[in-house]
Amino acid sequence: MKPGTPEEEWCEDCAPRRVLSLFATKWMSMVLHTLHARHGGACRTGALQRSLPGSSKKMLTQTLREMEEIGLVSRHVLSEIPPAVEYRLTRLGERFVEPVELLYAWGRDNPDALDELGSRSTARRV
């Protein structure tokens, strides 16, 4: 298979699949969107959790750790009493916000299309 050929696009480690793997869980895209749109790119853990209805502390912690590990956010311990932690989008995280925001905008602009989707067994919305 030659680089740039259509067959290459279906490889397991192709760029489209690698991008989509970042959104395999809903929380990663939601954290990116929330940090960007509601908090200007930086937020304390507690405020971030309050901004994400339905998220558990455990799920948010796991998601933030994974995002830090892959370079989308950085963790900063603030020198306050009591100590506080703030998460900030990295330059890489800011680049990934763009496609997330496009998807969120499409969702806001096309609720009728989303309403036409059949119900999924894992969906919360009935």
**What is the pLDDT at residue 6?**
66
pLDDT by 10s per residue, the chain, length 126: 566 666 666 788 888 888 888 777 789 999 999 999 999 999 999 999 999 999 999 999 999 999 999 999 999 999 888 889 999 999 999 999 999 899 899 999 999 998 898 876 665 555
**What is the pLDDT at residue 3?**
60
Edge-to-edge strands, sheet with 42-44: 42-44, 84-89, 73-78
**What is the pLDDT at residue 109?**
95
What is the pTM for the complete model shown? 0.81
Closest CA to 15 of 4, 31, 26, 2: 4
Closest CA to 43 of 81, 89, 83, 82: 89
Cα–Cα distance between 72 and 95 in angstroms, integer? 9
Give the distance from CA 23 to its chain's centroid: 6
